[in-house]
A and B are shown apart, each in its own frame.
Chain A
Amino acid sequence: NAGVTQTPKFQVLKTGQSMTLQCAQDMNHNSMYWYRQDPGMGLRLIYYSASEGTTDKGEVPNGYNVSRLNKREFSLRLESAAPSQTSVYFCASSGQGTGANVLTFGAGSRLTVL
């Protein structure tokens, strides 16, 4: 199993350009998440999706949109990129069950906005 796969791994954008980060999981998890991590900082939740067809805002949703395309895929879109969105983006997923609600992360997507 691949787990959580993110694409692209690296991307450089100019201010005002748009792009979509893709995330797919093959663990049949219901919940999926997008985090960003700035240098020297912890992870901050952007958006999450508790199940197919639902999405909710996290701590820092401004400037982003998400789509839960199906149970496997959860994409993050930047409509008009800004330098403040330069960051490493992590996608994660989690299953269900009282003790089994554990996050599995992807390898990250490093985005630079010039």
Chain B
Amino acid sequence: DAKTTQPPSMDCAEGRAANLPCNHSTISGNEYVYWYRQIHSQGPQYIIHGLKNNETNEMASLIITEDRKSSTLILPHATLRDTAVYYCIVRLPTGNQFYFGTGTSLTVIP
């Protein structure tokens, strides 16, 4: 599975959009991009995933560049409850191993 690179930390003002980048320059054609988040010491929570097209659900939007070498997770209106560590993972859908890096620690500021 391809490796990912994320900034270690970011801040965002409450109510503003939070844009979390992820670099995955070695991604292969059939690998998906997954995003999870971990709030304090809880188990990680699935947010969204995508292959090529941009995706949106009730939690977030995922923008994948045309060359698929990077992506951005967008939380449209960040709240204090969105303060968490966000993990970007790239893997085959049929793969059996999810490898988490150290993620991005997002702090939403009042």
A-side interface residues toward B, CB under 8 Å? 4, 31, 33, 35, 41-45, 48, 50, 56, 58-59, 88, 90, 92, 94, 97-99, 101-108
B residues 38-79 touching A (CB-CB < 8 Å): 41-46, 49, 51
Alpha-carbon distance between A106 and B45 when the two chains are bound, in angstroms: 10
Alpha-carbon distance between A51 and B31 when the two chains are bound, in angstroms: 21
- Closest B residue to A41 by CB, please name it: B102
- Closest B residue to A90 by CB, please name it: B43
Contact B36 A45 (CB under 8 A): no
Known: A35-B100, A99-B93. A88 touches B46 (CB 8 A): no
Chain B contact-residue range equals 20 to 34
Partner of A42, one of B46, B51, B103: B103
A-B pairs, top 6 by smallest CB distance, nearest first, are A105-B43, A43-B100, A42-B102, A98-B93, A50-B96, A42-B100
- For B87, the chain A residues whose CB sits under 8 A away are 42-43
Interface string of B70-110 (1 = CB under 8 A from A): 00000000000000010100000111111111110000000
Give the number of A-B contacts (CB < 8 Å): 59
Interface residues of chain B: helix, strand, loop or mixed (majority): loop
Interface residues of chain A: helix, strand, loop or mixed (majority): strand
Contact B43 A108 (CB under 8 A): yes
Known: A42-B87, A42-B100, A42-B102. A101 touches B93 (CB 8 A): yes
- For B98, the chain A residues whose CB sits under 8 A away are 33, 45, 92, 94, 103
Contact B99 A59 (CB under 8 A): yes
Contact B97 A43 (CB under 8 A): no
Task: Specify which of A43, A98, A99, A104 lies most central, judged by the most chain B CB atoms within 10 Å of its CB.
Answer: A43
Alpha-carbon distance between A65 and B62 when the two chains are bound, in angstroms: 37
Task: Specify which of B46, B98, B101 lies most central, judged by the most chain A CB atoms within 10 Å of its CB.
Answer: B98
Contact B44 A56 (CB under 8 A): no
